[in-house]
Homo-oligomer: A and B are copies of this chain.
Amino acid sequence: MKNLTLKDIAKALDISVTTVSKALQNYPDVSPKTKKRVKEYAEKVNFKPNSFAAYLRTHESKTVGIVIPRLNHYFFSSILRGIITEAEKHEYMTFILCSDESYELEKIQIERLINKNVDGIFLSIADKTHDLGHIQNIIDKETSLVIFDKYSKLTACSSVVIDDQKAAYTAVEHLIKKGKTKIAHFRGPLLPQNSIDRFLGYRKALDDYGLEYDKDLVFICDDINDTEGYNHMQTILDEKIEIDAIFAVADLPAVGAMNCLLENNIKIPEEVSVIGFSNWLISSLITPSLSTIDQPGELMGRKAFQVFMNEREMKKKKKKVEFKKYEIETTLIERDST
């Protein structure tokens, strides 16, 4: 079944292609009568203009792309959901690509999106990304860019993030208020800003409450998964490091740590409290349920798309776009592990 074209409609109604095109786009210089005829007919035959042909003239592809570091990841899936849902409302389609936390792959994926002429790119910078030239590249083309989750001070674009430092502070403060004094931190890798910020929030809470910072209580998770949490906890036990609480950079390492504690019959939260970060589905389903910081992914995704749309409108009106850092609120979720 061949797709209908403007030409087909023009022929059927015995008017010109030009008039059909203008009528469908509501040009003011088409008579109401003609407009009505055209629109009714187009509706009847379910005509949709070919987006590829339209692009060639308008340079709008009505397409955006997302690059995320992980695909099978609760938080990023929530973000996807937010972006896609909002995109649909505005008749946008969304390409998904994954960087696998690799700098090289991230570069390639961005290039792919640029070559597909997307109108905008949504990016969460990979953990291993140490250089932002490829991101500058997006900005140099006329493609819009919105960064989410991972913030970077260095790029000329808007970002939708949370206040990681504040959120981490809240988590650690919560542990302190529960009477904990020897709080370990399972932190993320060294490069990404959010793992740095969560670490800083941890330190600040210790400082503010007069607890001494002990670098031997900080463990790095290079991959943010349960195994790393488990292993770090095992190390703590093996080396008899004294702790009474853990603040983990994310829920999975927290869950890993809890499983190690459970296997060793260490009581949670009485002997060791554990708090995670992100509020993955799993955190409410395990026993004991995991206290955590809720990081509203879907909301962040929606916001990111809205920012993109606004900036696009501004550009179309030739107004100057001001880049902003949008911060989404997080909440402390108290459960049984603290």
* B71 and A74 contacting across the interface, CB-CB below 8 Å: no
Selecting from A119-127, A280-288, A308-316, the interface stretch reads A280-288
A328 within 8 A of B: no
**Nearest Cβ on chain B to A87's Cβ, whole angstroms:** 10
In the bound complex, how far is the Cα of B80 from the Cα of A75, in angstroms? 16
Q: Does A72 sit within 8 A of B, measured CB to CB?
A: yes
Distance between Cα atoms of A188 and B42 in the complex (Å): 42
B80 touches A71 (CB 8 A): yes
Q: Does A84 contact B (CB under 8 A)?
A: yes
B53, B73, B140, B256: the one contacting A1 at CB < 8 Å is: B140
CA distance A296 to B80 in the complex (A): 22
Binary contact readout A249-269 vs B (1 if CB under 8 angstroms, 0 otherwise): 000000110010010000000
Cβ of A279 < 8 Å from any Cβ of B? no
**A45 an interface residue at 8 Å Cβ cutoff?**
no
Give 5 CB contacts A-B under 8 Å: A3-B141, A71-B84, A72-B80, A72-B81, A281-B282
A residues near B (Cβ < 8 Å) are 1, 3, 48, 50-53, 55-56, 61, 63, 65, 71-74, 77-78, 80-81, 84-85, 88, 93-98, 112, 115-117, 140-142, 226, 255-256, 259, 262, 281-282, 285-287
